[in-house]
Amino acid sequence: MPIPILIDTDIGDDIDDALALAVALNSPEIELVGITTVFRDAPRRTLLVRELLHLWNRKDIPVCAGCSQPFLTDLQTFPHGGPNVGKQFEALDPTLKAEPTQHAALFLIDQIRAHHARGEVLTVVPIGALSNIALAFALAPETAQMCRIVMMGGKEKEADALGWGRAEWNILCDPEAAAMVFRAGCDLKMVGLDVTLQCILSEAEVAQFRGTNTPRAHFLADLIALWSHDVILHDPLTVLTLFADLVSFEPRRIEVELCGEHRAVTKPLEGAPNCLVAVDVDAERAKSLFLERVLGR
């Protein structure tokens, strides 16, 4: 039986969100029951989701906009993320307007409860800020124990190529929401930056998108060109872990620092584990499976 999943995404910034959705849509092991959007104009992000679903002939999948604002962070003072953030929206018809939707947190609650009532566990896959997930758990605390969370975010090691103590983007976007999710007592897996950074596509691998003569591959190639940075499989790897044995996980106790110079850093602490954390990946197998699924081979 396919695994029922719901993807919560900040699509439109880094290219990896669109690629993660493509993996999910091309994988028979997965039943994608809904997509929700989060962070900085969440309704606008639904437009890019709907364009992708149109190309995949999957307009039946519900799409709901969620929290555009973090719980406490003032977006006026928040780092924009670089000149390429949001450039993927250039691929859209500028006259398109976002449709009103049920709020993502309420949709998430409904889906978790509905699957639980059928004796199923919904896997929620956050690949952006955790605002929608935290809000859902705040509104309906019992749902935290009814679902499974497999998230892209944080990092397990304090020292890495990015510098000691630097926070990962998805956690930085809403540290309070992330702290709430880690403390919710849910079945939680974390695929962190120190592991996903091992999965970078080569120029030859990226060229396969343009060399694959399908509208879907060319649409993704156009988005990659707008991104114009290295293509790192942060979010696609997270989706691949749902059905492929590519990543090693170990139990950890993770807390999110909320104060001081290390705000938003995911810190491994002593004590009872509250999640499984990715510690290693077979990067070549991961890239090969990713290309196989996304390019429809």
For residue range 55-89, list pLDDT tens digits in order.
999 999 999 999 999 999 888 777 776 666 677 88
Going by pLDDT thresholds of 50, 70 and 90, the confidence category of residue 158 is low
pLDDT for res 94? 76
**Residue 180: what pLDDT?**
98
3-state helix, strand, coil in the chain (%, to 5): 40, 20, 40
Work out the mean pLDDT of the chain and round it to a whole number.
93
- How many alpha carbons fall within 13 Å on the CB side of residue 236? 29
d(CA 6, CA 248) in angstroms, rounded, equals: 23
Q: What dihedral do alpha carbons 78, 105, 175, 19 form, nearest 10°?
A: -70
Which are the catalytic amino acids?
234
- The whole-number pLDDT of residue 165 equals 55
Please enumerate in sequence order all residues whose Cβ is within 8 A of that of 202, keeping only pairs 6 or more positions apart, or say none. Answer: none
User: Number of helices and strands (H, E) in the chain?
Assistant: 11, 9
User: Mean of the pLDDT values across residues 21-49?
Assistant: 96
What band does 162 get if pLDDT is binned at 50, 70 and 90?
A: very low
Kindly list the domain boundaries of the chain, sorted by start residue.
Answer: 3-294
Query: Which CATH number does 3-294 carry?
Result: 3.90.245.10
Predicted structure pTM score = 0.95
Other CB atoms within a 10 A radius of the CB of residue 97 amount to: 7
pLDDT per position as a tens digit, 224-234? 998 888 999 99
Taking the C-alpha atoms of residue 295 and residue 202, their distance in angstroms, rounded to an integer, is: 16
48 vs 90: which has the higher pLDDT = 48
